[in-house]
Chains A and B, each alone.
Chain A
């Protein structure tokens, strides 16, 4: 095998690996994010920063009783954090606070490599992000919006109690 051929083979294998992360679904959410706008009547607004990369995400929840009526986000970030935020807004909308907690917990398990979560139907499109678990440096990107929504739920519940 020539050097070029070796390099070619390697590059091809590598492409397959990268595309496992940067799938069309993820890139579509990155290019055309869902629910990416300010929510003026939000009950909870959380600004969450990733100090390592400087990316900033703002998440908004509007509640109807204990139902998530509306979930949105703004801010900037990489394809992984933006796609995760976009998909999470869709997954959380219309469900209860408890439903949201279950989804966020399962999503977090998936990012920490739990194989059972990869088959969890409640995660829906979020399962497309399962491959990120194999990239330790990027897990924090995928978890950034999940952490932000968890904090938003915490704040909502704290307020409801007081």
Chain B
């Protein structure tokens, strides 16, 4: 469905794009909005005392309001635009962690975290002497909530976790984790990169203190995403980058900071991408996240059933009905990179590797997996193509039980 809305897909009829968990394709409405901004409204916002600059400022603000609405965030000033999830999580680890963490404090993350959440907290723990605690997984790739309960205690200062695992598609119980963290008085930070594109996220009722996302995984342009936060939390954080726009007064000896969201947006903002992102969430809302989720679940269930019937195939993560649109697998002794190359020859794009989750791969006892991920523009023909490619790989590598033709 909707394939014709995407110029790249419309121009490539033989392409089976199954790597939307890495980045989504972009609909024409997003590309048009960005071009239209540059053609009609381009100026540096917040600075010029002329009408055109005012127009750029208005467009930037309108984009912020539209994206905030997408996330059920009542106060648009509590949406900080960043380059993406990685920058948003680094912002929190640096701004909050550097000031708040001390030796004996504990930072709780998970074994399924993307490096974008894992490494910033690991590094700030090393720098401050805080102790990093890692919540382990159940054999079927869920967070071990018994272990989470053991880990979260009086010394826990922050619990940082993914809403959805990028490598397994596991959807984590946000409310349960928030309840445990809140009882311990810990800050909660949620990596929403893999959730925001696929399911309704209502920040004001989700309960987490901070939530990070990437625009390019929601049909938006690369280079923009954001951090959503509670006002009290964001106001209490010091800035982490300094420069234009984020200051109030600069004296020779000291400076004071601008109000939200500007305090965290040093330098010329990424207005065109923000405008593109606003168009993207408008597009996604137009289809409806419930519709997208149901569509992905259908394709995921179909693909999971068909792959599970193949000899030598191992699928990772919880049952399909409990995952978002990610299918992580290995085939006997065929290396995932070889699978990806063979599938690529059929125009099937899948991911192969550690998915920026080496701690998870170690726990799965594999160096890498192959990952197919689905989005609103995929259909059953993409699943068919995936199956054809996998059967060909099985035959080529003479995986036991496969046809040799």
Interface of A with B (CB < 8 Å)? Answer: 10-11, 14-15, 17-19, 21-22, 27, 52-56, 76-80, 135, 137-138, 141
A95–B342 alpha-carbon span in the complex (Å): 35
Task: Report yes or no: B341 in contact with A138, Cβ–Cβ below 8 A.
Answer: yes
Task: Report yes or no: A53 in contact with B337, Cβ–Cβ below 8 A.
Answer: yes
How many residues in B have their beta carbons less than 8 Å from beta carbons of A?
A: 23
Q: Chain B's nearest CB lies how many Å from the CB of A74?
A: 14
Q: Chain B's nearest CB lies how many Å from the CB of A96?
A: 33
Task: Report yes or no: A79 in contact with B346, Cβ–Cβ below 8 A.
Answer: no
Task: Report yes or no: A54 in contact with B367, Cβ–Cβ below 8 A.
Answer: yes
Task: Report yes or no: A76 in contact with B337, Cβ–Cβ below 8 A.
Answer: no
**CB < 8 Å: which of B342, B352, B392, B397 contacts A53?**
B352
Q: In the complex, which residues of chain A have a beta carbon less than 8 angstroms from the beta carbon of B154?
A: none
Task: Report yes or no: B14 in contact with A54, Cβ–Cβ below 8 A.
Answer: no
Q: Which among B342, B347, B358 has the greatest number of chain A C-beta atoms within 10 A?
A: B342
Task: Report yes or no: B14 in contact with A10, Cβ–Cβ below 8 A.
Answer: yes
**CB < 8 Å: which of B346, B361, B396 contacts A22?**
B396
Q: In the complex, which residues of chain A have a beta carbon less than 8 angstroms from the beta carbon of B14?
A: 10
Q: In the complex, which residues of chain A have a beta carbon less than 8 angstroms from the beta carbon of B358?
A: 54
- Let me know if B98 is at the binding interface, CB within 8 A: no
A55–B388 alpha-carbon span in the complex (Å): 27
Interface of B with A (CB < 8 Å)? Answer: 14, 334-338, 341-342, 345-347, 352-354, 358, 361, 367-368, 388, 392, 396-398
Listed by A's residue number, 10 A-B pairs whose Cβ atoms lie within 8 Å are A10-B346, A11-B392, A15-B392, A18-B396, A22-B338, A27-B398, A76-B367, A78-B335, A80-B337, A141-B337
Closest residue of chain A to B397, judged by CB?
Answer: A27
Q: In the complex, which residues of chain A have a beta carbon less than 8 angstroms from the beta carbon of B334?
A: 79
**CB < 8 Å: which of B353, B388, B397 contacts A54?**
B353
A55–B337 alpha-carbon span in the complex (Å): 10
Q: In the complex, which residues of chain A have a beta carbon less than 8 angstroms from the beta carbon of B392?
A: 11, 15, 18
* A54/B396 contact (C-beta < 8 A), A11-B388, A78-B337 known: no
A135–B341 alpha-carbon span in the complex (Å): 8
Q: In the complex, which residues of chain A have a beta carbon less than 8 angstroms from the beta carbon of B361?
A: 54
